[in-house]
């Protein structure tokens, strides 16, 4: 730890400008010319220019040079190559080696033109110096000058000019056409494609050497979105990744669907080569360089038992060797709309009062009224006063009219919600010398939530250093990250405000008012106003006053610290040994401090208070003062790895890349919670309470203990793994890859040989375009791949041994335990079998490029429930008892639609399909209600997340719902709901999209960029809410379709909403609530976001200014649905309300 810190501090202080060496040292085996020239550029500053076509002709280079001049180096590199070069200033200009015969003059001499001239620029109008202008099919070429101009003499009239520049698309134009101004497009060129590197977290491989399925999100695409977290920036741009609240994990994402039932569905998150076990929201997205998602066994199997759900590899930014110091500042402000509180359907105040009047007349509230302390609503109180003759009919009607005219949502929107604001600031500096590179960043975010009283902020610090020592044989990397977030919440019991639709929290001048709460949240106001004769604490509830005075203070703090070190040594040019170590610690601390003036404290103290009437004294088991509820957890992780890497070419055509390693991991977590009563924040003191005695309530007959809140838990997981990976390439055409990994854990098996699981893959790739017989000119690159292998899944909630949990203390002080699972010595790891078939291509001129993949994933030995004989004491146990199958397509296409003058337009289409089903499950899901009430219904031959519904036969002439039982229309609600015969159920469809993707467009004109992203989802269903009598009578007024209910004979002909009956029959309501008529198609298309950016500085002006780059941008998100299948104006993805629209304004400046 000390060594790491010292290295980082030294590196962060070395911000001086660096100079380039004029000598070259190279040690490469079978590398491309691109790699060699980039190495020369890093060492000397000499850049290389030439058309992309030239690089296809070059043979692989193997050379060893030590401190030679650049002229000597180039002479050796280009000998026996079909290219010529010349040095002009600090630029190496490349061209084809001249032939003895120039094909410009074959036999009959072509008709020659007058001299032609032109000018070559980028899309911003900046001239491109040293661009290559060539007559197609000849060796005749020239280069543009510093103004981008060129001149060609004696050009045949029918000639075609090829204009190319490194990093830009090569274009062709007729020599006799308009060539005054030529614009080159800086999109992902052939050279860029050749340089794509796959980062698996264990090794970095050029894309052409990989057989696996992966998607890489570069920095430009990643930073197109504006947000304070990493994952949200991947939505709509990551092929194969679905963002879905039904994903079954806290991240809300899945990669290629689900392959498990009860285990975790989240992909493994890897940050800088190590698994990240903390909250991903703690990381600063502005520190991210790239994100790679590994999807199949070949790409992800190296992660073994944690890769079954895919792997998201995050690489943070780092400095570069031989780079002058760069200082970058980014700042943005995001403003969001208030939530649409009126989106969720609910009864109006008048309609709810109508229901209360109906129930009052039926005697529904009589028992509550009889107790005198049970809470009743203001409307029911008016009805009671009128019945008791305390108020007249006109007074009652006037009061009811006043309640009917008020909507609590108006007060909620005015006092409890606001526009949310997010501010982001980030400053980083990076650079390097020939032997050392550094990157240091600091970020600060502040988020003012749309809920009044809620806010959070985050501080992030990231520092990393790299050293190249001993003639580049020894490399030392060190990284430190520190993230701390704090959140505040003063809202307290704000949810009590909406107990009634007509609650009024403030008068016309904004002065806070006391309000009534439901019987679930408090007592009758008439009772609390007089209870105790003034000896008890005030028992009123004034939510707005509590919010304004911050009586309820909930604070959360999360602190993450990560130290990562790596040492690599080249034993030989082709053999390297690497050791890695990471220490990670996360501390979570939550303090819920309730002021003694809060309703929460006053209510709890009064509940157990006892009054001696004779002496007029009060005994309070819960002492006066604040109540402090604290929870604290700390997690520590140690991760060590030793690895040997081999990369060597034999006999020019045979290349072998291999690695083998060993790693160990230990994760420990500890949790503590407790309550403090009579808390004094001035000296942090508290008063002991009696936690064993049962105290009677001040009202009624209940008794209760005082909760100590004491809870302790800890867990320790240890894992050990061995792994190996090998890749073989023949002549750059044929690829074979294989891997094997064995993971071992203390949670699985009893015998030693049962604690581990072997996982691995085999893969094949074929670069067809490199074959001599390949003549398909429309595609300049064509590659096919096929892989097969196994990934794993970890479920830490079970063990091979008997597991139990402390449940509670008996009234006699004895402990009781809850058996979580009986012993299972045969417990095995979950496995996912992967098959992946892929094809990738690039058309001529890079007009169209893309990939098409088909995959199959079979989950085996999945954790599920299995039946046990009742005489064992338990009826089911959790173990390896389920299998699943999923399959689908991942398609991504990018087209360069327009490349004309200063205007550019490109489109990226992502299309994903995923269908899954349960192929084996040992236990019946239970009653029909259990099936329809859960989205996770593991029923054989149906999707893991399915929507099932009761068959619907409409309403009868009395407005009663009708279903089916054994194929016949029935109103036997209890039997339909609770029987185990699925014949009365209908499978409606998948609850998750089976086809989804995005359609992203990017347009630019000179220095202006505009882009938008459209998301689409098809092939799934959702269940909408409607009227439920039992819930409505219980006080749940946030329901729709009240006005559509059956009210008179004949209504059954045009409505499916049942009549309200008293008393409510729960099973009758459930039949309708879970019937097929309330299931809707969720298909929709939405405009996800729009971005407008402006770059005021052209390339021509950058050298004249103090800073290197400047950009301004506006970004709008959650812009709404363009089209939806349902015609009810419902957003299928909304929960309580749709995501509010947001707009961001930002700027970035680089010095």
pLDDT tens digit sequence for 650-677 = 888 899 999 999 999 999 999 999 999 9
- Give the integer Cα–Cα distance in Å for 903 and 924: 61
Inter-residue contact 865 to 877 (CB < 8 Å): yes
Nearest one of 42, 66, 34, 21 to 573, comparing CA atoms: 66
Q: What is the pLDDT of residue 854?
A: 98
Per DSSP, the three-state class of 397 is: helix
Q: What is the mean pLDDT of the chain?
A: 87
Lowest pLDDT segment from 125-129, 918-922, 959-963, 1113-1117: 125-129
Q: What is the pLDDT of residue 188?
A: 36
pLDDT in tens, 1037-1053: 999 999 999 999 999 99
Q: What is the pLDDT of residue 199?
A: 77
Query: How buried is 458 (Cβ within 10 angstroms: 0-12 exposed, 13-18 middle, 19+ buried)?
Result: buried
Lowest pLDDT segment from 230-234, 852-856, 923-927: 923-927
Vertex 417: Cα angle to 413 and 422 (nearest 5) = 145
Parallel/antiparallel/unpaired status of strands 626-650 and 617-619? unpaired
Please give the average per-residue pLDDT across 891-915, as a whole number.
Answer: 92
Query: Six-digit token pair at 412?
Result: 């909620």
Lowest pLDDT segment from 48-52, 529-533, 579-583: 48-52
Query: Six-digit token pair at 107?
Result: 């036999």
- Give the integer Cα–Cα distance in Å for 865 and 863: 7
Q: What is the pLDDT of residue 16?
A: 31
- Give the integer Cα–Cα distance in Å for 758 and 364: 64
Inter-residue contact 926 to 916 (CB < 8 Å): no
Output 805 or 1054, whichever has higher pLDDT: 1054
Inter-residue contact 689 to 623 (CB < 8 Å): yes
- Give the integer Cα–Cα distance in Å for 465 and 478: 5
Residue 252 has pLDDT above 80, yes or no: yes
Q: What is the pLDDT of residue 507?
A: 93
Q: What is the pLDDT of residue 18?
A: 34
**First and final CA of the chain: distance in angstroms?**
33
Most confident of 251-260, 317-326, 1071-1080: 1071-1080
Cα torsion through 866, 868, 870, 875, rounded to 10: -20
Q: What is the pLDDT of residue 810?
A: 56
Please give the average per-residue pLDDT across 913-918, as a whole number.
Answer: 95
H-run or E-run covering 781: strand 779-793
Parallel/antiparallel/unpaired status of strands 311-316 and 268-271? parallel
Inter-residue contact 198 to 311 (CB < 8 Å): no
Please give the average per-residue pLDDT across 326-344, as a whole number.
Answer: 95
Q: What is the pLDDT of residue 814?
A: 66
Nearest one of 874, 718, 889 to 799, comparing CA atoms: 718
H-run or E-run covering 216: strand 214-217
pLDDT in tens, 85-121: 777 667 787 777 654 333 333 333 344 445 678 888 7
Output 839 or 174, whichever has higher pLDDT: 839
Instruction: Name the residue with tokens 């999100």.
Output: 217
Alpha carbon 1133 to its chain centroid, in Å, reads 16
Lowest pLDDT segment from 49-53, 227-231, 450-454, 725-729: 49-53
Residue 1134 has pLDDT above 60, yes or no: yes
Q: What is the pLDDT of residue 371?
A: 93
- Give the integer Cα–Cα distance in Å for 1095 and 992: 41
Please give the average per-residue pLDDT across 905-924, as a whole number.
Answer: 92
Residue 326 has pLDDT above 80, yes or no: yes
Q: What is the pLDDT of residue 485?
A: 96
Q: Per-residue confidence at 187, pLDDT binned at 50, 70, 90?
A: very low
Query: Six-digit token pair at 96?
Result: 């084809």
Q: What is the pLDDT of residue 1147?
A: 96
Please give the average per-residue pLDDT across 679-686, as a whole number.
Answer: 94
Instruction: Name the residue with tokens 């741009």.
Output: 237
Domains of the chain: 1-97 (3.55.50.30), 104-195 (2.60.40.1120), 349-406+493-550 (no CATH), 933-987+1029-1080 (no CATH)
Lowest pLDDT segment from 313-322, 544-553, 887-896, 1141-1150: 313-322
H-run or E-run covering 1029: helix 1029-1033
Please give the average per-residue pLDDT across 968-989, as a whole number.
Answer: 90
Output 916 or 143, whichever has higher pLDDT: 916
Other Cβ atoms less than 10 A from the Cβ of 208: the count is 19
Phi and psi at 75, nearest 5°, equal -60, -40
Bridge partners (DSSP) listed for residue 481: 462, 562
Please give the average per-residue pLDDT across 960-982, as a whole number.
Answer: 92
Q: What is the pLDDT of residue 10?
A: 32
Residue 573 has pLDDT above 50, yes or no: yes
Q: What is the pLDDT of residue 112?
A: 44
Helix axes 393-404, 349-362, angle to 10 degrees: 140
Q: What is the pLDDT of residue 128?
A: 78
pLDDT in tens, 1119-1129: 999 999 999 99
Q: Per-residue confidence at 732, pLDDT binned at 50, 70, 90?
A: confident
- Give the integer Cα–Cα distance in Å for 515 and 493: 12
Vertex 1100: Cα angle to 1097 and 1103 (nearest 5) = 85
What's the pTM? Answer: 0.82
Bridge partners (DSSP) listed for residue 215: 293
Bridge partners (DSSP) listed for residue 437: 432, 466
Residue 847 has pLDDT above 60, yes or no: yes
pLDDT in tens, 147-186: 788 887 777 777 778 887 765 667 777 776 556 667 666 5
Lowest pLDDT segment from 246-250, 270-274, 885-889: 246-250
Residue 728 has pLDDT above 80, yes or no: yes
Q: What is the pLDDT of residue 879?
A: 77
Bridge partners (DSSP) listed for residue 250: none
Secondary structure of 801-866 in the HEC alphabet?
CCEEEEEEECCCCCEEEEEEECCCCCCCCEEEEEEEEEEEEEEHHHCEEEEEEEEEEEEEEEEEEE
Q: What is the pLDDT of residue 873?
A: 67
Q: What is the pLDDT of residue 12?
A: 37
Please give the average per-residue pLDDT across 986-1015, as a whole number.
Answer: 95
- Give the integer Cα–Cα distance in Å for 739 and 723: 7
Residue 9 has pLDDT above 50, yes or no: no
H-run or E-run covering 38: helix 33-44
Torsional sign, CA 236, 238, 242, 244: negative
Distances in Å between the Cα of 317 and the Cα atoms of 219, 234, 279 are 10, 17, 20
């Amino acid at each position: 730890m000390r060594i790491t810190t010292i290295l980082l501090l030294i590196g962060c202080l070395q911000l001086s400008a660096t100079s380039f060496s004029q000598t070259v040292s190279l040690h490469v085996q079978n590398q491309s010319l691109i790699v060699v020239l980039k190495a020369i550029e890093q060492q000397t500053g000499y850049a290389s220019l030439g058309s992309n076509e030239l690089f296809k002709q070059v043979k692989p280079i193997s050379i060893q040079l030590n401190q030679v001049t650049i002229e000597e180096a180039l002479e050796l590199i280009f000998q026996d190559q079909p290219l010529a070069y010349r040095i002009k200033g600090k630029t190496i200009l490349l061209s084809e080696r001249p032939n003895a015969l120039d094909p410009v003059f074959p036999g009959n001499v072509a008709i020659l033109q007058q001299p032609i001239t032109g000018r070559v620029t980028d899309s911003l109008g900046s001239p491109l110096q040293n661009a290559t202008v060539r007559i197609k099919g000849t060796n005749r070429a020239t280069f543009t000058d510093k103004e981008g101009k060129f001149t060609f003499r004696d050009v045949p009239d029918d000639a075609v000019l090829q204009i190319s520049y490194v990093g830009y698309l090569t274009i062709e134009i007729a020599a006799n056409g308009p060539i005054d101004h030529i614009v080159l497009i800086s999109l992902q060129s052939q050279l860029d494609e050749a340089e794509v590197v796959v980062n698996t977290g264990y090794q970095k491989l050029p894309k052409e050497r990989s057989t696996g399925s992966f998607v890489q999100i570069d920095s430009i695409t990643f930073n197109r979105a504006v947000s304070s977290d990493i994952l949200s920036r991947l939505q709509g741009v990551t092929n194969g990744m679905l963002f879905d609240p039904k994903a079954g994990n806290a991240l809300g994402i899945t990669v290629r669907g689900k392959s498990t039932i009860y285990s975790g569905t989240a992909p493994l998150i890897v940050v800088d080569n190590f698994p990240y076990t903390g909250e991903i929201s703690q990381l600063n997205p502005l520190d991210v360089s790239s994100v790679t998602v590994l999807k199949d066994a070949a790409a992800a199997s190296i992660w073994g038992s944690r890769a079954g759900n895919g792997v998201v590899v995050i690489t943070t930014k780092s400095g570069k060797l031989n780079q002058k110091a760069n200082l970058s500042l980014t700042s943005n402000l995001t403003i969001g709309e208030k939530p649409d509180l009126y989106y969720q359907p609910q009864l109006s105040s008048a309609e709810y009062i109508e229901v209360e009047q109906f129930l009052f007349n039926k005697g529904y509230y009589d028992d509550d009224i009889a107790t005198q302390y049970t809470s009743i609503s203001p409307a029911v109180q008016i009805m009671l006063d009128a019945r008791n003759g305390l108020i007249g009919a006109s007074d009652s009607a006037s009061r009811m009219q006043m309640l009917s005219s008020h909507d609590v949502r108006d007060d909620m929107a005015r006092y409890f919600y606001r526009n949310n604001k997010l501010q982001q600031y980030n400053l980083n500096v990076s650079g390097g010398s020939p032997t050392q590179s550094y990157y240091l960043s600091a970020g600060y975010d502040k988020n003012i939530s749309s809920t009044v009283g809620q806010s959070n902020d985050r501080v992030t610090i990231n520092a990393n250093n790299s050293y190249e020592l001993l003639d580049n044989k020894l490399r030392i990397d060190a990284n430190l990250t520190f993230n701390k977030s704090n959140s505040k919440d003063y809202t307290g019991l704000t949810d009590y405000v909406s107990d009634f639709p007509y609650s009024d929290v403030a008068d016309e001048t904004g002065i806070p008012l006391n309000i009534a709460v439901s019987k679930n949240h408090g007592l009758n106001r008439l009772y609390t106003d007089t209870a105790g004769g003034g000896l008890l604490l005030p028992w009123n509830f004034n939510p707005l006053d509590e919010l304004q005075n911050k009586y309820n203070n909930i604070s959360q703090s999360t602190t993450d610290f990560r130290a990562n070190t790596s040492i690599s040594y080249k034993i030989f040019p082709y053999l390297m040994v690497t050791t890695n170590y990471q220490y990670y610690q996360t501390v979570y601390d939550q303090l819920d401090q309730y002021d003694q003036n809060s309703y929460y404290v006053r209510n709890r103290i009064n509940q157990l208070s006892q009054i001696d009437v004779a002496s007029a004294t009060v005994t309070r088991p819960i002492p006066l003062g604040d109540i402090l509820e604290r929870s604290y957890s700390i997690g520590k992780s140690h991760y060590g790895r030793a690895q040997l890497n081999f990369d060597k070419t034999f006999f020019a055509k045979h290349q072998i890349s291999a690695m083998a390693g060993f790693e160990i991991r230990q994760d420990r977590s500890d949790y503590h919670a407790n309550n403090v009563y009579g808390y004094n924040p001035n000296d942090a003191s508290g008063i002991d309470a009696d936690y064993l005695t049962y105290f009677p309530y001040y009202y009624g007959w209940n008794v209760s203990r005082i909760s100590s809140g004491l809870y302790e838990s800890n867990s320790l997981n240890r894992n050990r793994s061995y792994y190996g990976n090998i890749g073989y390439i023949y002549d750059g055409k044929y690829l074979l890859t294989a891997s094997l990994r064995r993971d071992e854990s203390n949670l699985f098996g009893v015998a030693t040989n049962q604690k581990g699981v072997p996982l691995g893959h085999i893969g094949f790739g074929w670069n067809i375009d490199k074959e001599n017989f390949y003549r398909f000119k429309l595609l300049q690159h064509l590659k096919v791949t096929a892989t097969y292998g196994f990934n794993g899944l970890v479920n830490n909630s079970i063990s091979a041994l008997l597991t139990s949990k402390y449940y509670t203390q008996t009234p006699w002080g004895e402990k009781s335990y809850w058996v979580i699972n009986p012993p299972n010595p045969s417990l095995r790891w979950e496995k996912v079998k992967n098959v992946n078939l892929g094809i990738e291509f690039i058309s001529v001129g890079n007009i169209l490029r893309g990939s098409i993949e088909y995959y199959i994933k079979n989950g085996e030995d999945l954790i599920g429930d299995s039946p046990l004989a009742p005489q064992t004491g338990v009826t089911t146990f959790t173990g390896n008892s389920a299998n699943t199958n999923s399959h689908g397509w991942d398609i991504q296409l990018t087209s360069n639609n327009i490349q004309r003058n200063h205007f550019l337009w490109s489109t990226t289409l992502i299309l994903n399909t995923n269908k899954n089903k349960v192929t084996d499950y040992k236990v019946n899901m239970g009653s029909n209600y259990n099936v329809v009430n859960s989205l996770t219904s593991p029923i054989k031959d149906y999707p893991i997340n399915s929507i099932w519904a009761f068959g619907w036969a409409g309403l009868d002439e009395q407005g009663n719902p009708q279903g089916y039982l054994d194929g016949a229309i029935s109103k036997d609600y209890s039997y339909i709901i609770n029987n185990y015969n699925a014949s009365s159920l209908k499978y409606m469809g998948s609850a998750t999209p089976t086809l989804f993707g995005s359609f992203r467009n990017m347009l630019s004109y000179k220095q202006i960029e505009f882009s938008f992203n459209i998301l689409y989802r098809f092939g799934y269903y959702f269940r909408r809410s409607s009227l439920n009598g039992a819930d409505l009578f219980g006080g749940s007024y946030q329901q729709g379709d009240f006005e559509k209910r059956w009210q008179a004979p004949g209504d059954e002909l045009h409505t499916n909403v049942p009549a309200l009956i008293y008393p409510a029959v729960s099973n009758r309501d459930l039949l309708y609530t879970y019937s097929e008529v309330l299931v809707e198609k969720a298909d929709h298309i939405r405009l996800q976001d729009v971005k407008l950016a402006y770059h005021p500085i052209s390339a021509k002006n950058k050298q004249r200014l103090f800073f290197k780059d400047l950009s301004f941008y506006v970004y709008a998100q959650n812009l709404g649905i363009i089209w939806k299948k349902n015609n009810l104006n419902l957003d299928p993805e909304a929960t309580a309300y749709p995501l509010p629209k947001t707009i961001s304004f930002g700027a970035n400046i680089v010095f």
